[in-house]
Amino acid sequence: MKPVIIIQGPTAVGKSSLALSLAEKLNLDIISADSRQIYKYMDLGTAKPEADELARVKHHLIDIIRPDEKYNAGAFAQDASRLVDDTDLKFPIICGGTGFYISSFLEGLCVIPEIAVEVRNKVMSDYDKLGSILMYDKLSEIDPIVAKRISDNDKQRICRGLEVFFGTGKKLSDFWEEQGILTPRKVLNIVVVDDREDIYHRINTRYEIMVKNGLLDETRKLLEMGYKENDPGMTAVGYKELLENLLHKRPLSECINLAKQHSRNYAKRQLTWYRKCKLDLVFYRKSIKYKDIDYYIEKFINENN
RNA sequence: GGCGGGAUAGCUCAGUUGGUAGAGCAGAGGCCUGAAAAGCCUUGUGUCCCCAGUUCAAGUCUGGGUCUUGCCA
ipTM: 0.93
Q: How confident is the model at residue A181 (pLDDT cuts 50, 70, 90)?
A: low
Q: Which nucleotide is nearest to A161 (CA to C1')?
A: B33
Q: Which residue approaches B40 most closely, CA to C1'?
A: A154
Q: What are phi and psi of A249, to 5 degrees?
A: 60, 25
Q: Which nucleotide is nearest to A240 (CA to C1')?
A: B37
Distance A203 CA to B64 C1' (A): 51
pLDDT over 80 (residue A182): no
Angle at alpha carbon of residue A242, lines to A238 and A246, rounded to 5°: 160
Distance A132 CA to B50 C1' (A): 48
The mean pLDDT of A38-57, rounded to a whole number, is: 96
Distance A141 CA to B61 C1' (A): 55
* All residues at 6 or more sequence positions from A41 whose CB lies less than 8 Å from its CB, including other chains: A66, A67, A218, A221, A222, A225
Sign (positive/negative) of CA torsion A181, A185, A188, A193? negative
Q: What are phi and psi of A7, to 5 degrees?
A: -125, 115
Q: Which residue approaches B39 most closely, CA to C1'?
A: A156
Q: Which nucleotide is nearest to A36 (CA to C1')?
A: B37
Q: What are the CA-CA distances from residue A176 to residues A101, A153, A161, A269 (Å)? A: 17, 22, 12, 25
Distance A250 CA to B73 C1' (A): 34
| Dist CA A151 CA A29 (whole Å) | 41
Which one, of A14, A8, A4, A80, lies nearest residue A47 by Cα?
A14
Query: How does pLDDT run across A107-165, given as a tens digit for each residue?
Result: 989 889 989 999 999 999 999 999 999 999 999 999 999 999 999 999 999 999 999 99
Q: Which residue approaches B36 most closely, CA to C1'?
A: A100
Query: How does pLDDT run across A52-81, given as a tens digit for each residue?
Result: 999 999 999 999 999 999 999 999 999 999
Q: Which nucleotide is nearest to A42 (CA to C1')?
A: B37
Distance A209 CA to B72 C1' (A): 46
**What does the pLDDT read at residue A240?**
96
Amino acid making up residue A263: S
Q: How confident is the model at residue A176 (pLDDT cuts 50, 70, 90)?
A: very high
Distance A14 CA to B64 C1' (A): 61
Q: Which nucleotide is nearest to A176 (CA to C1')?
A: B33
Greater pLDDT, A85 or A291? A85
DSSP H or E stretch at residue A93: strand A93-95
Q: Which nucleotide is nearest to A238 (CA to C1')?
A: B37
Distance A258 CA to B12 C1' (A): 14
Q: What are the CA-CA distances from residue A177 to residues A84, A99, A110, A112, A151 (Å)? A: 26, 23, 8, 12, 21
The mean pLDDT of A42-61, rounded to a whole number, is: 96
Q: Which nucleotide is nearest to A38 (CA to C1')?
A: B37
Which H, E and C letters describe A16-78, residue by residue?
A: HHHHHHHHHHHCCCEEECCCCCCECCCCCCCCCCCHHHHHHCCEECCCCECCCCCCCHHHHHH
Q: Rounded to two decimals, what is the model's pTM?
A: 0.93
Distance A232 CA to B63 C1' (A): 61
Q: Which nucleotides of strand B lie under 7 Å from a protein CB?
A: 25-41
